[in-house]
Every structure is written in structure tokens, then in C-alpha cells.
Amino acid sequence: MNPLPRFVATALFLVLAALVALLAVPLWQGSRAAATAPPAANAAGTDATPKAAPPGPTGAMRASQRVALFLAVLGAALALTLIVSPSLRPSRVGDGAALSGHTRAEVGTLARLAESSVAQGEELSRERDVRRRAEEDARLKQQLLTRSLDEKIRLGHDLHDGIIQSLYAAGLMLESVRTLVKANPAEAERRLEETRASLNGAIRDVRAYIVGLAPENLRRAGFAHGLSALVADLRAGREVRLDIQIDDEAAGLLTPEQSLEVLQIAREAVSNALRHGAATLIVLRLQHSDREVGLSVQDNGKGFIPAAARDGGHGLGNMQARADRLGASLRLTSTPGEGTRVVATVPIRATGQT
């Protein structure tokens, strides 16, 4: 509700009341002065002192009339305002309509800004998706390249630790046959047959590496059988005593990848003991604790100084590289004249862990 009419009406009432009071007061004062005037002098000529006539009301009445006129004009203006004020209300409605139109314009502007923000957000989201896909593609390509390089390195290690060692053993076998051809033809024939079998095994290994079946072959044959087979292959007819103890439970804790790497570490250690150490006793152990599986290969060969070793075939480096791939630790201790001991400790992986 608009409070203006009530306020104007109240002010008009007060002004009119004051106007009535101002007009009534002079009239009341004039009537009182007339009532209290002294009687006139005797006609007999009584000498009386004349009194001053009361002041006329002309000045006061004139001032009162001016004030009354002013108040009357003010009352008329207020009354006119009261009359005109209802006609001002539609203009308020118009102002409200104008305000509503302005509000609608602002709402429209905000809506357009919101739509623009949504469009920009979608565009940024698309750009992020494109960038993420590009980064994923680049990362995948890098992973494939790294995996390819790793596979090449691993293939080189496998060829060195597997095929080359088998061929080397076959060469030693043929060298030993040369001295037996005349002295002991039967033994020479037997060793030639072993050499042929060794070469056939090397061919099978090459095929297995080509088709990537080496871990699968190991999984089918079992770790103990694979270890026994490679040691027998590396002996190449030498007079060497082997003491092998494989804990089947420990072997079962190894993943196929770990089994293959541990087998290759054992192959390299045995090959080094035979080729470089001229060992006559080799002791192999595979055991486990709550968290680790340990491989130990110890021989009674010549031994060497590890810090001064210069392995042209990179055998020691290959063993360390395989241990690093498994997250395993590799310890090698050797003393000239007292043999060599290699210990590889492999952490047990939880089920499903890669």
C-alpha cells in the first residue's frame, strides 16, 4: 500500500487546524478588549484624566490574515497533491514494468553468458580429451618402443645365456672327442651322440625363442626339470659333481617370468664355474622364506677378484640385469683359489601382482 495519501491527509489536517486556531485567536482577543473598555466621561465636565485608547487590531489582523493566506495556499497545494497522487500510481506501475523489462534484459544477458560459458566449457573439455588421447597415444608408442628395446636386450641375454652356452658346451664336447677317437672309439661315439643331442636342443631353444614359448615350455616342464636339464647340458661330459636341491614349494612361488630369469641366472653361474673356474663341485639350492625365494650357486673352482673381473661375454652383467628386472638382489663373492658363490634373492609376488 502507498503511504503517501495518508501522510498528505494528515499534514492537511494539521495545517487546517492551525489555520482555524490563527483565525479564532484574533477574534477572541478583540471581543475581550471590547468587554473590558472603561466608561465614557460625564457630560458635567468632570475633569478626568483621559486614558490611552487600546491599540487597534489592524496590524495583528493583517499579520494573521497573511499567515492564514499562506497556510490556506499550502493546504490547497497539499490537497491538490492528495488529489493528484492517485494518478501517480499508474506511473509507478509503469516504473515497475520498466524495471521488470530491465530485469528481463539482465536475465537474458546472464542466460547468454551462461550459454557462452557452457559452450566454452564443452570446447575446453573436447580440447582436453584430444590432448589426453594424444598424450596416451604418445605414451603408448613410447611404451611399445621401450618394450621393443627391452625385448631386444632380453633376447640378447637369452641368446648369450642359453644358445651360446649350449653351442660352447657342444664345442667342448667335440674337442674332448678328438682325443678319444683312437683311444676309446665307443666313448667318442657316445660323446658325439651327446653333442648331436645338445645341438638339437639348441635348435629347439632357438625355435622357442622365435615363437616366444620359452616361459611356456618352462611352465610345462617345471623349474626343477629345467634346471637339471640345463646343468646336464652344460656339463658336456666333464667330470664334475653336482649337488642340486630344489624346494618344490619355493619353485611354485615363482611366477613364470621369475622362473625363466632365475633359471638363466643359474645357467650363467654354472657356465662360468665350468668355463672359467674349472670347478669339480657345484652346489645349487633353491629355498624360500616368508617374503623371498633364494637361489644359491656355489663352486670350488679357481675363483677370481670380482672388482678386477673383465667379462668379455658380459656374463656377470647379464645376471645383474636379470636380477634388476625382477627387483631382486644379486650378491657375488669370490676369492682366488677358493671358488665362487652367487646368491640371487627374489621377492615373492602376491597373487595377481605383475
Domain map (residue ranges) of the chain = 1-28+68-81, 136-347
Q: What is the pLDDT of residue 339?
A: 93
Cα torsion angle, 98, 103, 104, 106, sign: positive
Q: pLDDT band at 110, cuts 50/70/90?
A: confident
pTM of the model: 0.46
Extract the runs of DSSP E, i.e. beta strands, from 66-114: none
Domain 136-347: give its CATH superfamily.
Histidine kinase-like ATPase, C-terminal domain (3.30.565.10)
Helix (H, G, I), strand (E, B) or coil at 327: coil
Task: Judge whether residue 250 has pLDDT over 90.
Answer: yes
pLDDT bin (cut points 50, 70, 90) of residue 26 is: low
Res 298: pLDDT: 95
What is the grid cell recorded at 170? 657342444
What integer best gives the mean pLDDT of the chain? 75
CA distance 354 to 344: 19
For residues 125 and 103, give the distance between their C-alpha atoms in angstroms, rounded to a whole number.
32
Q: What is the mean predicted confidence (pLDDT) over 110-114?
A: 80
pLDDT at 175: 82
Give the residue with greater pLDDT, 30 vs 347. Answer: 347
b/e code 282-318 from CB counts within 10 Å (16+ = b): bbbbbebeeebbbbbbbbbbbbbeeeeeeeebebbeb
Binned at pLDDT 50, 70 and 90, residue 346 comes out as very high
